[in-house]
Amino acid sequence: MYKALVIGTSFGGLEALKAIIPQFPKGFPLAVIVVLHIGENQNDSFIRYLNEISQLHVKEAEDKERISTGTVYFAPPNYHLLIEADESFSLSTDPKVNHSRPSIDVLFETAAWCYKQKLIGVVLSGLNHDGAYGLLQINDLGGMCIVENPENAIAQIMPSAANKIAKPQFITPLHDIAEKINELLHSQN
């Protein structure tokens, strides 16, 4: 049984997330944890917007917060978001990874160690390689990996790197990703 979904994206990510998150139904059985590269800008207005168009509760993750299903958590600006063994968050101001804080790799690697085969990882549009090695870690520890089809992505570098390095099970057009996740959830019942 899957327990969590981690998503990483940067340039083009706002549009990609608007296409995916509203497709998850009320009562969605996973926690959704997102790293969106936006530099030191705030997430507040985007989080409010997603709350208006989504059936799930969308919020910024807080240090020591317990992770709950049916909630979408965003890494706060300028903090790495880590998942602890007890399924809670911790925030870190450690140096940037792949020129980014928050780093997708940091989230994905800690999530992979916590959830192992109960994790789905998704890499979307972006302009650097962040997320590729984290997605490989998810794959190596038995999780399921989905990458946005680079040919259709707003920015192809991130999904292309994830595809090459992590060898995901699925390379999927953006507008089919939520459906693919829902299929994975139904196939495990």
The per-residue pLDDT for range 1-54, each reduced to its tens digit, is 999 999 999 999 999 999 999 999 999 999 999 999 876 667 788 999 999 999
Exposed / middle / buried, residue 169 (Cβ in 10 Å: 0-12, 13-18, 19+):
middle
pLDDT for 114 equals 98
For the chain, the domain total comes to: 1
CATH code for the domain in which residue 16 is found:
3.40.50.180
What are the b/e assignments for 12-32, b being 16+ CB within 10 Å?
Answer: bbbebbebbbeebeeebebbb
Q: 3-class SS at 51? A: helix
> Active-site residues: which are they?
10, 37, 130
Q: Which residue segment(s) compose the domain that 72 sits in?
A: 4-187
Distance CA 85, CA 113 (A): 8
What confidence tens digit (pLDDT) does each residue in 99-130 have?
999 999 999 999 999 999 999 999 999 999 99
The predicted model scores a pTM of 0.97
